[in-house]
């Protein structure tokens, strides 16, 4: 059955630059929040993770709301938690446009946004006002390295963001896995990741001495299995609260899209359906290593209810989506949650 959104997407949205449509859609979601929130009826599927009670497993991955302006509207669509960012210590415009592309044949997106955001100072003010106004959606804040900051000073950059943003976050995510910031993925190496996570943990505890903010790390699907296991071991040894698996991939293997189209788009992180199997495999690998207690968030290629079921069966406690939300439309989170509820 062809849905109205499918026609809109194919006949209208795909004819316009992807980033422009993203901004239009984000504004529409914010404007519609009072109405969509009133009509939202979802089954109760509480999940206890990170010391929090999530209304259901499905949240929105970082990348959609980089500026932390749409949490209420996104929650009104049915997301049980919203992860904003990636936020960097300093504001930055990101990479030159065009930098967001669709691969329709693969139900995938390629982005090389480059952490465009307003910076930690501005986002912190925005979140403070949102919290003061009663904002209660479970909020994750994803932090990354400012592009112009040398790798030797990366820890300080993450500490700055942590100090400003931890007071308003329900959980923090250290992003060391985007392919669009030079040198960032090098920080996934355990010898560099360990002191970085320790510094972020210390700073979060300094600014929230009365409350321990859960800390997670987001990893790439391109890590070898051995490196995935090394991160798992580090997470256990360092008292990390969770791992988000996975970010976008730099691989272009096995795509249905014409090679010329893929080559014409160029570099960037690939998200969507092509990640489904690898992201599921990484979650399963992690769960086998860390045991039952560490929180795992499964993200990457979750499009259908069956995808969501398999990711939970592989060991994820929580799920996140982004690309499927783009391709499937505003009713997608409700469909996933209602589908999962039939299993309960």
Annotated binding-site positions: 62-66, 86, 111-115, 142, 175, 180, 218, 246-248, 272, 301, 322-323
Q: Where are the beta strands (DSSP E) in 269-313?
A: 269-272, 295-299
Q: How many residues can be counted in the chain?
A: 344
Binding residues for substrate: 66, 111-115, 175, 180, 247-248
Residue closest to 144 by CA, chosen among 168, 191, 180: 180
Residue 193 in tokens: 């990741």
Residue 83, phi then psi, degrees to nearest 5:
-105, 115
Residue with tokens 């990457």: 300
136 is catalytic: no
Q: Which residues contact 211 (CB under 8 A, 6 or more apart)?
A: none
What is the 8-class DSSP label of residue 167? G
Across-strand partners of 142? Answer: 173
CB 274 within 8 A of CB 249: yes
Q: Which residues contact 138 (CB under 8 A, 6 or more apart)?
A: 52, 54, 59, 80, 81, 82, 170
Residue closest to 78 by CA, chosen among 63, 100, 60, 92: 60
Residue 137 in tokens: 């959606």
Residue closest to 90 by CA, chosen among 161, 3, 186: 161
Report how far residue 10's alpha carbon sits from residue 92's, in angstroms, rounded to the nearest whole number: 32
Report how far residue 298's alpha carbon sits from residue 308's, in angstroms, rounded to the nearest whole number: 9
Q: Is 258 helix (H, G, I), strand (E, B) or coil?
A: coil
Angle between helices 276-290 and 305-314 (to 10 degrees): 30
- Which of the following is catalytic: 26, 161, 177, 178? 178
Please list the active-site residues. 178
């Amino acid at each position: 059955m062809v849905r109205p959104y499918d026609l809109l997407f194919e006949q209208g949205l795909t004819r316009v630059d992807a980033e422009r449509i993203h901004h239009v859609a984000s504004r529409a979601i914010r404007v519609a929040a009072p109405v969509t929130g009133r009509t939202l009826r979802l089954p109760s599927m509480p999940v206890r993770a990170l010391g929090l009670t999530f209304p259901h497993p499905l949240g929105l991955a970082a990348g959609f709301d980089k500026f932390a302006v749409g949490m209420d509207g996104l929650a009104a669509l049915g997301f049980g938690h919203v992860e904003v960012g990636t936020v960097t210590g300093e504001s930055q415009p990101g990479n030159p446009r065009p930098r967001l592309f669709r691969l329709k044949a693969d139900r995938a997106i390629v982005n090389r946004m480059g952490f465009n955001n307003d910076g930690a100072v501005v986002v912190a003010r925005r979140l403070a006002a949102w919290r003061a106004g009663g904002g209660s959606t479970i909020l994750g804040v994803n932090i990354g390295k400012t592009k112009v900051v040398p790798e030797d000073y990366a820890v300080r950059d993450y500490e700055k963001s942590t100090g400003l943003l931890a007071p308003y976050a329900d959980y923090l995510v250290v992003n060391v896995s985007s392919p669009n910031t030079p040198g960032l993925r090098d920080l996934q190496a355990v010898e560099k990741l360990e002191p970085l996570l320790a510094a972020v943990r210390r700073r979060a505890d300094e600014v929230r001495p009365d409350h321990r903010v859960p800390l997670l790390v987001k990893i790439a699907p391109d890590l070898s299995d051995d490196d995935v296991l090394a991160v798992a071991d580090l997470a256990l040894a360092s008292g990390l609260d969770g791992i988000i698996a996975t970010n976008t991939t730099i691989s272009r293997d096995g795509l249905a899209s014409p090679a010329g189209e893929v080559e014409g788009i160029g570099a960037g992180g690939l998200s969507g359906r092509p990640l489904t199997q690898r992201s599921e495999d990484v979650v399963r690998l992690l769960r086998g290593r860390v045991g039952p207690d560490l929180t795992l968030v499964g993200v990457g290629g979750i499009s259908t209810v069956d995808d969501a079921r398999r990711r939970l069966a592989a060991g994820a406690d929580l799920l996140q989506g982004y690309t499927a939300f783009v391709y499937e439309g505003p009713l997608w989170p409700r469909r996933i949650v209602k589908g999962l509820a039939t299993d309960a």
